Chain A
Amino acid sequence: MSENVTLGIHNAKIGTSSDFANKRKRQETVLKIKNGKLKVKKTTK
């Protein structure tokens, strides 16, 4: 007798992978004021 099984298919979201999030993080720029001067720091995580 034939049996039926059901797949547990995962829904997909385009452009929301952790890799994508990490790339955004690496491009982050941080502005700080130190001793009255503006310092620009680009994160390279």
Chain B
Amino acid sequence: MAKWANDDVMDAALDKVATGITQTACNAQPTTYAQATNDPGSSGYALADITLTAGDGNGDYTIAAGDTNGRKVTIAAQTGVTIDYTGTATHVAICDGTSLLYVTTCDSQALTATNTVTFPAWDIEIGDPT
């Protein structure tokens, strides 16, 4: 007997991620919307931010089969994003208009205000049940 989940189940979770409209580079792990979207001068962690177009297939999110199994959502690359605040980026967050939805890590990268940063494409994957 194998465990099994319909792709729609995994896609529902990934669709929720794809409601995100803001991606930010943060200098610490945010655990709240305010931390993820405010800059360090306003008690937040955001050093740079870019607006995303919500929804699978609308340009910034693509939901597809996972690399080995399951499903994944890929967030498209965002190039030349203006850096608002100088600091070292260690995390990348996605938020909708009111909530922090997802946080991943990144290699520590020094960011300098007024320069630009590129967010390469990355993905969030949910594996099949095991």
Contacts and interface: CB of A to CB of B under 8 A. Distances in A.
A11 B115 CA distance: 25
Contacts, number: 71
B127 A16 contact: yes
B66 to A, nearest CB: 9
Contacts of A4: 79-80, 115-118
B120 A7 contact: yes
Given A2-B114, A3-B115, A4-B80, A10 B105 contact: yes
A12 interface: yes
Contacts of A12: 102, 104, 122-125
* Chain B interface category by residue count: 20 to 34
A8 B107 CA distance: 5
Contacts of B120: 6-9
A45 interface: no
Interface residues of A, number: 15
Interface in B80-130: 80, 89, 92, 102, 104-107, 109-112, 114-120, 122-127
B13 interface: yes
B25 interface: yes
A2 B105 contact: no
Interface of A: 2-16
Interface of B: 13, 25, 79-80, 89, 92, 102, 104-107, 109-112, 114-120, 122-127
20 contacts: A2-B114, A2-B115, A4-B80, A5-B115, A5-B116, A5-B118, A6-B120, A7-B92, A7-B107, A7-B117, A9-B106, A9-B119, A10-B105, A10-B107, A11-B124, A12-B123, A14-B13, A14-B124, A14-B125, A16-B127
